[in-house]
Amino acid sequence: MTDDIERTEVWIPSGDDRCAGLLYRPSGTDRVPLVVMAHGLGAVKEMRLDAYAERFAAAGMAALVFDYRYFGASTGEPRQLIDIRRQLQDWSASVSFARALPGVDPERVALWGTSFSGGHVLATAARTPGIAAVVSQCPFTDGPASMRQVPLPTAARLLAAGLSDQLRAWRGRPPRMVALAGAPGDMALMSAPDVVDGYLALIPPGLVLRETTPARIVLTLPLYRPGRDARRITCPVLFCVCDRDSVAPASRTLRHAAACPGAVVRRYPAGHFDVYVGDAFETAVADQTAFLVEHLKVG
């Protein structure tokens, strides 16, 4: 990070808890546009989101990167809980927080999401008036399509674990945890051949990360279809689609993008995790920066 970018820790109230955030902004600027950002399934902001935020800040935009409740430095129990409804509440709270920040133009606030949060930003933009632009990278847009990527025996084991965990929650017992990422055949939410190496490549040295989550998410994940909200979004939306995506099928995302009135589609010959690093990252972040600069009217 250069001296031209300021980074500040912030706390975002959400429900009875607080989301931990980092605010990046260009030094010495006022009335700047801002991009609200969060990560995907069970991931935290330290897993490469800083690389995107710094690029956006260098181009003249502020960026507010936050972790959901129950993750990272954010508060909330049980730890590592993925709850779709509450994560969408965290998005709403973060947008309200961003619009109230001194020196931020509340009419030029954009959303940026990737993987699971790539779906969340579509749902949030459809429900939140005044969003200026959206970037949805390798997005989870359709629960049934993503679940079809999971082998049937693994899906059956995950479902059994999910039911067990939900019963434990109702009885006030500690959660039953499942892995977020695993090799093919492992009982994990993501277990395609490229998952383990791709997921591990996002974890910086020294970050202690719990790579599990309460299994109850398996009961709601197949029902979540945020791509359907794309048709109701009135602002410009950049869909960054990885053609070799093994987690969030590109074909279904492209179908939802076709129904979005303000959609711009960029496609990359890359897998789900490739877009965070290397040449694929450089290409995608350049496309995203140019899109945000244009639609947030930077400079």
HEC string of the chain equals CCCCEEEEEEEEEECCEEEEEEEEEECCCCCEEEEEEECCCCCCCCCCHHHHHHHHHHCCCEEEEECCCCCCCCCCCCCCCCCHHHHHHHHHHHHHHHHCCCCEEEEEEEEEEECHHHHHHHHHHHHCCCCCEEEEECCCCCHHHHHCCCCHHHHHHHHHHHHHHHHHHHCCCCCCEEEEECCCCCCEEECCCCHHHHHHCCCCCCCCCCCEEEHHHHHCHHHCCHHHHHHHCCCCEEEEEECCCCCCCHHHHHHHHHCCCCEEEEEECCCCCHHHCHHHHHHHHHHHHHHHHHHCCCC
Q: pTM above 0.85?
A: yes
- Among 49-63, 105-119, 197-211, the least confident range: 197-211
Above pLDDT 70, what percent of the chain? Answer: 100
Q: Which amino acid belongs to residue 129?
A: P
Nearest to 248 by CA among 133, 120, 125, 145: 145
Contact 19, 93 (CB under 8 A): yes
pLDDT for res 150: 86
pLDDT for res 148: 85
Identify the structural domains of the chain with CATH numbers, from first to last.
Answer: 5-143+226-295 (3.40.50.1820)
The encoded tokens of residue 222 equal 């197949």
pLDDT for res 36: 98
Contact 25, 6 (CB under 8 A): yes
pLDDT for res 45: 96
Q: Which amino acid belongs to residue 254?
A: L
* Residue that wins the pLDDT comparison between 107 and 145: 107
Mean pLDDT score across all residues of the chain: 95
Q: What is the mean pLDDT of residues 121-149?
A: 95
Q: What is the mean pLDDT of residues 122-145?
A: 97
> Is the pLDDT reported for residue 4 higher than 70?
yes
pLDDT for res 1: 64
- What are 240's strand-pairing partners? 137, 266
The encoded tokens of residue 252 equal 């279904």
Residue 39's pLDDT band (cuts 50, 70, 90): very high
